[in-house]
Amino acid sequence: MEELITLDTIIVANKKVVTADMDGETVMLNVATGKYHSLGKTGSIIWELLQRQITVEQLIGELQNKYQVARQQCEAETLAFLDAMNKEGILEIG
């Protein structure tokens, strides 16, 4: 069962996921599942930020510094994205 991701959750990219940059977008292979994933530009920025341990709150702050987006929208979309990544085994929680 996946852990619930909250603003206080510390997350980091799963180091077992193989990635490549293709024209500014990250393409990844989850070796454990054999599934490929393609991240858009914002997803690629999130992936870059996840190369070090970071709380979801810090991640949202970094995204708000980079983009002009309302806090509520940024939080909702980021949590949904992280939840989907977690279900695919792409994140490490801890």
| Domain locations along the chain | 10-15+41-93
Q: For position 38, what pLDDT does the model report? A: 93
Q: For position 3, what pLDDT does the model report? A: 78
* Cβ pair 20, 8 in contact under 8 A: no
Contacts of residue 79, Cβ cutoff 8 Å, sequence gap at least 6: 5, 56
Q: For position 24, what pLDDT does the model report? A: 78
Q: For position 22, what pLDDT does the model report? A: 87
Q: For position 94, what pLDDT does the model report? A: 82
pTM: 0.88
HSE toward the beta carbon, residue 64, CA cutoff 13 A:
13
Strand partners, 10: 55
Task: Report, as ranges of residue numbers, the positions in the chain whose pLDDT lies below 70.
Answer: 1-2
Q: For position 52, what pLDDT does the model report? A: 96
Q: For position 25, what pLDDT does the model report? A: 84
State how far the Cα of 16 lies from the Cα of 30, in Å rounded to an integer: 7
